[in-house]
Amino acid sequence: MDHGAGQLLLGHVDWSAKHIRYLGQRAHVVYDWDSLNLNKEPVLVAHAAMTFTYIPFLPDVADSPTREESLAFIADYEVARGSAFSAAERQTLGAAMTSTMAYGARCEHSLAPTERNYPAGSRRAILAHYKNGFLHA
């Protein structure tokens, strides 16, 4: 996202729940700090919004958050940051969400290239369901 909108921030780009340890309801420790990345704020938020539920070793947890969960994550982030993303930042956010989802779908496809009945919660199932309307459904 070299040409996207938003300020450059240092962020963590692998926010899957497997890298977080909690004390009660609060995050206490974040692991995997080799995933630090200097990028535009909307790109960092998009990546987190699309991957925060990923825990590959728990069988009953969907790999990807639902559309509603991702959008709620972004809305909560905007409240915490104190302002909504601008129109240009939203465009960058949408592009980064699409890129993250497409990357995940490609990874899934490489593991099961002939599969056509995609598992619920998989990136391929989500993309097949929403097609071009994931951000606007």
Residue spans of the domains in the chain: they are 8-133
Token pair 């009945």 in the structure block, residue = 117
User: In Å, how far from its chain's centre is CA 101?
Assistant: 7
Predicted confidence at residue 75, as pLDDT, reads: 97
The pLDDT of 95-103, averaged and rounded, is 89
For 56-96, the pLDDT digits (tens) are 777 777 778 888 899 999 999 999 999 999 999 999 998 99
- The yes-or-no verdict on residue 137 having pLDDT over 60 is no
What does the block give as tokens for 131? Answer: 């097609």
E strand or H helix at 21, and its extent? strand 20-23
Which pLDDT score, from 0 to 100, does residue 84 have?
Answer: 97
Mean pLDDT value of segment 23-29: 86
- Residue 73 neighbours by CB distance under 10 Å: 19
